[in-house]
């Protein structure tokens, strides 16, 4: 069994990693850290994790593989010595997602603590970068919003069936904000309410543009992307709706778009092209991304809906999917689970 360590198990993503890895056939969590709960039994911090007989420590013990669920900035600092030890690892923070250190500083407001490692990091969206992930030692787990948006748009962008003017409207559950306290996430504030936020620009926008640019057959600079996130009163889930004009001269039909998407994702274990618009409940607790593409013929516009669980395919589940690829395990190991319903 591969010994796995989780840095910052006390966040939502860290706790979800521990839950999902409990039944993994090839890997076992043997060490977890979390500064705010150091010295406490994990089951005292998260009673639902009582089967894991672990104590939260301030630092990891010796392990074979590492997940970091620290916030941006802190994560890169913690991982530098582990990278030097040649430990394979997946970073769930934003620290290694952007290839340009100046762009990282612009959007995250801090100087990157290890810019020399950016060229070594692989962007860990398996559906687009599977071969590179298999060879990587340092994988940057994608953000939750970019996962839903990129999987919704990749076939259309790579297939050249849309103009480079894209609108992404995404709605996320409250857990996407993490466990830190904030007035906007109090029950009385968030319940029975929905709100748009980060209207001047969300930190996940450059990540989306960077990865779409790698698929775009023309210059990345020609891409125009508007990304607008919303907070909605649910615990988990992201519903993303993407809009783009159909490319001039392309006779795009709903049947043709479905065929394009089904062919693009035909061998993917965690992407399903659906016959009806999916609901966030359909991905609650599992690693699936459900996608529904259609064409608004009156407006000449492609419309694509995607659903993921922001804590699984949008974080911990995708991180384990990347680990499986990096270590040569079956890609679906520990992740082949149906959604929780209702």
Strands laid side by side in the 238-245 sheet: 195-196, 224-231, 165-172, 238-245, 301-308, 289-296, 271-273
Which residue is listed with tokens 């062919």? 263
Round to the nearest angstrom and report the end-to-end CA distance of the chain: 34
Query: Is 144 an active-site residue?
Result: yes
* Alpha-carbon gap, residue 153 to 159, rounded angstroms: 10
DSSP string for 74-89 = HHHHHHHHHHHTT--E
The catalytic position among 144, 242, 289, 307 is 144
Both tokens of 1, joined, read: 């069994």
* Alpha-carbon gap, residue 108 to 303, rounded angstroms: 30
Q: How many CB atoms lie within 10 A of CB 232?
A: 17
- State the pairing for strand pair 138-140/122-123: parallel
Q: Which residues are catalytic?
A: 144
């Amino acid at each position: 069994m591969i010994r796995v360590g989780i840095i910052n198990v006390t966040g939502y993503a860290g706790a979800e990693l521990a839950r999902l890895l409990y039944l993994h056939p090839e890997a076992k969590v043997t060490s977890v850290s979390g500064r705010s709960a150091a010295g406490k039994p994990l089951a005292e911090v998260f009673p639902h994790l009582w089967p894991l007989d672990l104590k939260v420590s301030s630092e990891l013990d010796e392990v074979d593989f590492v997940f970091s669920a620290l916030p941006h900035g802190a994560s890169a600092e913690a991982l530098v010595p582990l990278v030097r030890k040649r430990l394979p690892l997946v970073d769930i923070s934003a620290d290694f997602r952007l290839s340009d250190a100046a762009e990282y500083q612009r959007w995250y407001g801090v100087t990157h603590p290890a810019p020399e490692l950016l060229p070594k990091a692989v962007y860990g969206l398996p559906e687009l970068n599977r071969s590179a992930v298999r060879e990587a030692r340092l994988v940057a787990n994608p953000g939750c919003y970019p996962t839903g948006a990129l999987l919704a748009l990749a076939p259309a962008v790579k297939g050249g069936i849309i103009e480079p003017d894209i609108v992404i409207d995404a709605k996320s559950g409250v857990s996407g904000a993490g466990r830190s306290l904030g007035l906007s996430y109090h029950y009385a504030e968030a319940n029975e309410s929905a709100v748009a936020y980060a209207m001047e620009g969300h930190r996940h926008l450059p990540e989306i543009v960077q990865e779409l640019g790698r698929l775009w057959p023309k210059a990345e600079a020609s891409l125009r992307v508007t990304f607008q996130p919303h907070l909605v009163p649910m615990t988990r889930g992201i519903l993303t709706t993407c809009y783009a004009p159909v490319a001039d001269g392309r006779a795009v039909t709903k049947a043709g778009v479905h065929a394009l998407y089904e062919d693009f994702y035909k061998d993917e274990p965690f992407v399903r092209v659906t016959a009806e618009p999916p609901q966030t409940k359909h991905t609650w607790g599992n690693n699936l991304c459900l996608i529904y593409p259609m064409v608004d013929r009156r407006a000449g516009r492609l419309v694509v809906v995607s659903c993921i669980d922001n804590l699984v395919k949008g974080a911990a589940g995708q991180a384990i999917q990347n680990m499986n690829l990096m270590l040569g395990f079956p890609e679906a190991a520990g992740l082949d689970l149906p959604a929780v319903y209702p």
